[in-house]
Each structure stands twice: as C-alpha cells, then as structure tokens.
C-alpha cells in the first residue's frame, strides 16, 4: 500500500513540476528541461527529481544548479497545487540514462559495421525462419 502511494505521489509531483517549469519559471539559465522521473522516499519527506537537459555537460550542470537554487519557488508553487500533509523536500538530479542509451547504441552500431553484415531484425514467427 505504501509503495503505491509513493508511486502515485511521485507521478503527481512529476506532472506538476513539469508544468511549473514550462509555465512559471522565468530563469534564463534553465533551458530545455524534461522531468524524467520523481523518486519519493517511503516517508514522503524527500523527492529526488531527475531531469534531462539538452546541451553540453557545462550547460547541464548549470541548469541543475539553477533548479536547485530555485527549489524554494518550485516547492511553493507545488504546495499550492498539491494537497499533502508534508510537502517533500525537492532535490534535482541530472538524468544521464539517455546519454547511456546513446553510448550503447553507438557501440552496437560499431559492432555491426565491424561484422560487415547488415542488421536484420529477428522474426517473432518461427515459421518464417530458414
């Protein structure tokens, strides 16, 4: 039961923070930001907000620093939209899963090129195999 509650609260916070960043934030240091996920602790006191940022590493780090410095404004806006007994303390973190995915895709492409065979997707129907 508690796990479902933390998941529901996390999804609600994710949706509202995304809206706040899109509509309310006026900070020019915060560029193109996507809220990837929100992990809420079991006691609902802390929420780790993972964000994806377009740009180079310096730009990404600057954006995360700006978000963490604006956490008071974001929490105030969030508290007017979400009714909880305790508003979780927000901590913004950079989500690097997309970078990891792209790196793995590049490695697989290099392997395919090294083999000299084109990539052929496997058939799900066993009768189509030769």
pLDDT tens per residue, range 8-56? 999 999 999 999 998 888 887 787 888 999 999 999 899 999 999 888 8
Rounded Cα distance, 53 and 70, in Å:
16
Q: Where are the domains of the chain?
A: 2-115
- CATH number for 2-115: choose from 2.60.40.10, 3.20.20.100, 3.40.50.300, 3.30.300.20: 3.30.300.20
**Helices 57-69, 71-81: inter-axial angle, 10-degree rounding:** 60
**pLDDT tens per residue, range 52-108:** 988 888 888 999 999 999 999 999 999 999 988 888 999 999 988 777 777 888 888
């Amino acid at each position: 039961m508690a796990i479902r509650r933390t998941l529901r609260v996390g999804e609600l916070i994710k949706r509202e923070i995304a809206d706040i960043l899109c509509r309310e934030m006026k900070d020019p240091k915060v560029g193109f930001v996507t809220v990837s996920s929100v992990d809420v602790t079991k006691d609902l006191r802390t929420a780790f907000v993972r964000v994806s940022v377009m740009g180079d590493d310096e730009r990404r780090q600057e954006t995360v620093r700006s978000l963490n410095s604006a956490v008071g404004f974001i929490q105030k806006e969030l508290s007017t939209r979400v009714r909880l007994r305790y508003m979780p303390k927000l901590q913004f973190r950079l989500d690097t899963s997309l970078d990891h995915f792209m790196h793995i895709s590049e490695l697989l492409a290099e392997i395919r090129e090294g083999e000299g065979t084109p990539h052929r997707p496997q058939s799900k129907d066993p009768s189509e195999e030769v």
